[in-house]
Amino acid sequence: MSTRILAPSRIRSPRRPDGLLLVLAWLVLAAVAHAQDFAGTAPAGDRDLMALLEHALPPSERGLAAAAASTRWWGLRELETRAVALGGSTGALRVATGLSQTGAPELGWTTLALAVGGVTPGAGAAVRVVTRHDRDQPWSPALAVEPRASLALGAGAWLEPAPGVRVWASAPQMRARGQPPPLDRTLELGVRAGRGSAVWCTLRAPRASDDGERALGLVLALSPFEAWGEVRDAPLRGSAGVRVSVGVLRVGARADAHPVLGETLRAAIEWRSSVGSSP
């Protein structure tokens, strides 16, 4: 989910009694959440359509794909992210585009993303570009290219050095232009061992406001079901998710617990017309 620290000019007089609470929640969000405009429900290391847009990690499977996801932060309807994405491939090329909206019109924003990458047997890499604008502005294509537009460029790559072992690096915000990004996103490194059932660990580099983040996770797969859990530090908290595959559809749900802010709930559905992995 994207987050922003609101300038005084952006904090307007609340139209409803809970307006001030929303502003305060937004300010707290900027300090504790990652920018996740296209976050899905998959466990770490998965390379689905949302992972291509969010982390620049391209899927190995070929075919067309479409996905939709919704995240309700801390159970508040006003702090909700809705995202849709489309993707496809030809040969080793992977392409995806997505649109998301976060928050109420008074404080929220719209995000457009494009990711392009390629895969070979056992490896893949991609770049992504993201532009954001306030929801209360009438949108037009010119907003995405004007000098004040919030524009970010990132990249990611994964490698399978041995059967069942996957390592990856994701830097989704390497360069930024225009308005400052909602939140700094630093380099994330990860390793995952296992094909169906698996374990993983990730390390996120420190930002100016924290000392980084470490995570450990486990996924248990019994086709067509998957269940997984993860524990993270800074502060200590956990996540859990389930996913079921039915034909060309995958449906998932995820809950993230925070010791202060409460639960964040996510749901996602993905359709994939897969024709196999890259040659």
Q: CATH number, domain at 193?
A: 2.40.160.40
Does residue 7 belong to any structural domain of this protein? no
Q: What is the mean pLDDT of the chain?
A: 83
Tally of domains within the chain? 1
Does residue 222 belong to any structural domain of this protein? yes
Average pLDDT over residues 273-279: 60
Q: Outline where DSSP puts E strands in 135-235.
A: 150-162, 165-177, 188-193, 198-204, 213-222, 225-232
pLDDT score at 158: 97
Does residue 100 belong to any structural domain of this protein? yes
> How far is residue 181's CA from residue 164's CA, in Å, rounded to a whole number?
36
Does residue 10 belong to any structural domain of this protein? no
Does residue 161 belong to any structural domain of this protein? yes
The pTM of this model reads 0.83
Tokens 């000098």 map to which residue? 147
pLDDT score at 15: 39
Q: Is 191 exposed, middle or buried (0-12, 13-18, 19+ CB in 10 A)?
A: middle
Does residue 46 belong to any structural domain of this protein? yes
Task: List the domain range (segments joined by +) for residue 229.
Answer: 15-277
What is the tens place of the pLDDT at every residue in 201-238? 999 999 777 788 999 999 999 999 999 999 999 889 99
Q: Which of 156, 163, 124, 87 is nearest to 278 (CA)?
A: 124
Does residue 6 belong to any structural domain of this protein? no
Q: Give 9's DSSP letter.
A: G
Does residue 272 belong to any structural domain of this protein? yes
Contact partners, residue 126, CB within 8 Å, separation at least 6? 52, 56, 57, 58, 94, 115, 116, 117, 118, 155, 156, 157
Contact partners, residue 134, CB within 8 Å, separation at least 6? 10, 108, 109, 110
Residue 149 has pLDDT above 90, yes or no: no
